[in-house]
Chains A and B, each alone.
Chain A
Amino acid sequence: MYQGLEDAMQLHFLLNMTKFFIHKTVAIHNNSVFVDDEKVFDTDAEEPIGSFLKQVYKNYNVGYSKYFKMDRLSKLGFLSAEILLNNTNQNNIETEHTSIILVNSAASLDTDHKFQDTVNDIASPAVFVYTLANIVIGEICIKHDIKGETAFFVQEIFNSAFVSNYANIVLSNSAAKNCIIGWIEVAPNGTYNSAMVMIKKEESELELNEINLNKIFN
C-alpha cells in the first residue's frame, strides 16, 4: 500500500519536472572494471582490494600523487570518478556546475576501525581525516575542480527512489547542470563495490528515474 502511494507521489512529482538522463556507467567489483556494462579491465579475482586498485590506477595512467595518501574508500571513489570523467567520449562537462551525490552502507567504517586501533596510542591526523564518509567527495572535487552541490547519504541498500528524487531536485533547483550519482562501498573486511553514473540534461536512452537507477545500482 505504501509502495503504491509512494509511486503515485513520485509520478506527480516527476510530471512537474524537467527530465534528466543517464549518460555513462562505471562499475567496479570482483576485481573488474565495467564501463556501460562492458568489462574493460580485470585482475586475478583473488587479489586484495589494495593491490587491485593500484593496478587500476596504473592501467589508467592517473599520475596523481595525492592518491597514495587516500584511504580505500576514497581510492575506490576517486578511481570510479576518474574513469567516469576522463576516459571516453565524455563531452567536457562544466565541473563548476557539477553535483555529486554519493551513497554507501558502511560510511567510513573501514577507516574508523583503523583509527580506533590508534586511539590509545598515537592517533594519526592523516587517518582521522578519512573517518568522514564525505571525504571521498572532497577528493573527487579537488581533482576535477567540482564546486556544485555535494551530498553523502548512508543507506543499507541503495534507495533508488530517494536518490532519483533527490538528484532531480538538485538538478532542477540549483545551479547544477550535471550530477554524478555513485555507490562507493568498502566494508571493514575489505569487500568492496562501486557504481557511478553521469546525469545530464542532454537526452540519452536512459532517463533518470527510480527504475533505471535500480537496474544499475541494485
Chain B
Amino acid sequence: MPVYIESHNVITSLGFSTKENFQNITNGKTGILQVSDANFWDNPFQASLVNKERLNQIIPDSPFTHFEKLMLASAKLAIESSSINVTSNDTLFILSTTKGNVELLATEDKDSEKTYLWNSAKVLANYFNNPNKCQVVSSACISGLMAIVIGQRFIDAGLYNNVVVVGADALSKFIVAGFQSFHSLSTEPCKPFDKDRDGLSLGEGAGTIILTNNEDIIKGHKIEVKQGAISNDANHISGPSRTGEGLLIAINNTIFNNVKPDFISAHGTATPYNDDMESKAISRANLAKVPTNSMKGYFGHTLGAAGVIESLIGIECMKNNILLKTLGLKEQGVAEDISIIKENEKREIKNMLKLVSGFGGCNAAALFIKHD
C-alpha cells in the first residue's frame, strides 16, 4: 500500500515552515552563529538556535519546556494544514528524539516524570487528543529517518491509515558539553565533505511529517515514502565503520532492481570519520556519480530531528527540481570521489535517497519518490 506525505513542517533557526526554511537555504543562508551564552557553554561556540519569541507565539502562555514547545509547535503547524483527523484511532503519533527534556536534569525537576521520553510522547498525543499510545524512537541520530520508515511500515501493514512523525531535539548544556568532550565541534560553521572539515555544528529544531495511505487528500506533488532499511556496523559504539559496510547494507536493502536515485541527501556531519565513511558506502553502492549534499551547514546537526528535517528539505528539492549546494564546502576532500553538490542547480529530480548514521553503529536509508 503506497504511503504518501500529506503535510509537513520544519522549525530551525532558518524559519518556522518547510517553505521558509527551503527559501533561506536556496538563498544560501546559514542559521549557524557564534553563541555566547553560559547557559550552554562557558566559551563561545557555533550553533543553530530556534527563535524563542516566535516559538512562544505558536505555543503561548504554556507550562511546556523549550523542547516540548519545539515538538508541539512543529506538529501543530503541520496539523493545521492537514486534512487528516488526528483525534482518530487510525492515526498514530511517533516521536523521534535523542535527549527530550534532558535540560531538566540541571534543575529542581531533575527527578520528575518529565525527564522520561515516554512522558514527552504523552504530552504530544494529549495535546492533539490522539487516543493511541504515542511511540518514541530513540536510536541516536538515525531516530528521525527511522521514525519515518516505521510510520511507512505501519501504514503499509494496514495497522494505521495515518502516522504523524514528529522529530525534535533542543540544545542544552548537557549536549554541548558532551560533544565538546568528544572534541567533535567545529570552531567555525561546519564544512561537510571539505578537506579541512574539523567537526560538526550543533543545531536544535523540529520537523513533522504526516503520512497517509489516502491518495485523494494529497495536494500538489505526490511524494511517496517508498521504503527504508536500518542496519548496524557492529564495529564501534562512538565511531563509524571504517569501510562503510553498515551503511552499504542499509542502502542495498533500500534501493534494488537497479534503481538509481537522482539525488542523495547525505548525513554529512562534517566530522572527519563520518564523511569519509559515507563516501565509501556511497561509492561501494555504485552511487558515486549521483549528486549528493549535506544540509548540516545550513542549520547544524539537529540530532533526533535531523532525519525528518533533512528529508523534508530534500522533498522540497524534488518538488522544485533543484539540487542545493553543500554550504560550508570549499574543496572536497573525502576518502572516495563522490559527487558533492557545490552550486545550486536546476535539474529534474524524481527520487531521493536519504542517509543517516549514528552512535551505536546504527545506519538508516530511505527512498522517496515523486509522482506527477
Nearest CB in chain A: distance from B255 CB, A: 14
- B127 in contact (CB, < 8 A): no
Q: Which residues of B sit under 8 angstroms from A133, Cβ to Cβ? A: 138-139
Distance A43 CA – B99 CA, assembled complex (angstroms):
35
Nearest CB in chain B: distance from A35 CB, A: 25
Distance A144 CA – B235 CA, assembled complex (angstroms):
10
On whether the beta carbons of A119 and B174 are closer than 8 Å, the reply is yes
On whether the beta carbons of A169 and B139 are closer than 8 Å, the reply is no
Question: Is the contact region of chain B dominated by helix, strand, or loop, or is it mixed?
Answer: mixed
Interface residues on A, range: 35 or more
- A145 in contact (CB, < 8 A): yes
On whether the beta carbons of A128 and B182 are closer than 8 Å, the reply is yes
Q: Which of B55-63, B104-112, B203-211, B334-342 contacts A (4 or more CB under 8 A)?
A: B104-112
On whether the beta carbons of A148 and B359 are closer than 8 Å, the reply is no
Query: Of residues A113, A135, A144, A146, which shows the largest number of chain B Cβ atoms within 10 Å of its Cβ?
Result: A135
On whether the beta carbons of B159 and A152 are closer than 8 Å, the reply is no
Nearest CB in chain B: distance from A78 CB, A: 11
On whether the beta carbons of A174 and B232 are closer than 8 Å, the reply is no
Closest B residue by C-beta to A161 = B133
Distance A169 CA – B136 CA, assembled complex (angstroms):
17
Kindly identify which residue among B117, B140, B233 contacts A134, using a CB–CB cutoff of 8 Å. B140
Q: Which residues of A sit under 8 angstroms from B111, Cβ to Cβ? A: 188
On whether the beta carbons of A153 and B135 are closer than 8 Å, the reply is yes
Distance A148 CA – B181 CA, assembled complex (angstroms):
30
- How many A-B residue contacts, CB cutoff 8 Å? 171
On whether the beta carbons of A116 and B136 are closer than 8 Å, the reply is no
Q: A123-B178, A146-B232 are in contact. Are A132 and B154 (CB under 8 A)?
A: no
On whether the beta carbons of B177 and A123 are closer than 8 Å, the reply is yes
Distance A10 CA – B132 CA, assembled complex (angstroms):
14
- B27 in contact (CB, < 8 A): no
On whether the beta carbons of B362 and A159 are closer than 8 Å, the reply is no
On whether the beta carbons of A123 and B359 are closer than 8 Å, the reply is no
Binding site for A on B (CB under 8 A): 89, 98-100, 102, 105-106, 110-111, 115-119, 121-122, 131-133, 135-140, 146, 150, 153-154, 157-159, 173-174, 177-178, 180-182, 229-238, 245-246, 249, 253, 358-362
13 residue pairs of the A-B complex, CB under 8 angstroms, read: A112-B105, A132-B98, A135-B360, A139-B237, A148-B231, A151-B150, A151-B230, A152-B137, A152-B139, A156-B116, A162-B135, A165-B159, A174-B229
Binding site for B on A (CB under 8 A): 2, 5-6, 9-10, 12-13, 16, 100, 105-107, 109, 112-113, 115-116, 118-119, 123-125, 128-129, 131-135, 137-139, 141-142, 144-156, 159, 162, 165-166, 168-169, 173-175, 188
